[in-house]
């Protein structure tokens, strides 16, 4: 378990790529189906903007906790992916 959660460069980079990719894909899907909503974050939506926004109003909301949980989720996913691929490589080498 300690080696699974131990940070490595590949896990951090993969987590960042997955976090960015899935947030962007979710945003594209929502924007294509609901034209005036602009979210960021998947599986937890940590930022949402909507419009059209009247002057003087704040038409966005963000949640730092959801953003942190998103990063942790994608780090865990990347850790499991690295573990699975490293085991497959070890199996092939034998």
Helix (H, G, I), strand (E, B) or coil at 47: strand
pLDDT number for residue 14: 97
3-state helix, strand, coil in the chain (%, to 5): 65, 10, 25
| Residue 4, pLDDT score | 85
Q: What is the pLDDT of residues 35-83, one digit of tens each?
A: 888 999 999 999 999 988 888 888 999 999 999 999 999 999 999 999 9
Q: In angstroms, how far is CA 25 from the centroid of its own chain?
A: 10
Contact 70, 40 (CB under 8 A): no
Confidence class for position 94, pLDDT limits 50, 70, 90: low
* CB contact set of 25 (below 8 Å; sequence gap of 6+): 42
């Amino acid at each position: 378990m300690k080696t699974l959660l131990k940070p490595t460069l590949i896990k951090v980079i993969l987590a960042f790529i997955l976090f960015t990719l899935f947030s962007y894909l979710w945003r594209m899907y929502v924007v294509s189906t609901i034209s005036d909503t602009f979210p960021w974050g998947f599986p937890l939506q940590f930022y949402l903007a909507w419009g059209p926004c009247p002057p003087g109003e704040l038409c966005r909301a963000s949640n730092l906790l959801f953003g942190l949980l998103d990063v942790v989720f994608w780090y865990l996913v990347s850790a499991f992916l690295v573990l699975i691929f490293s085991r497959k490589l070890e199996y092939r080498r034998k």
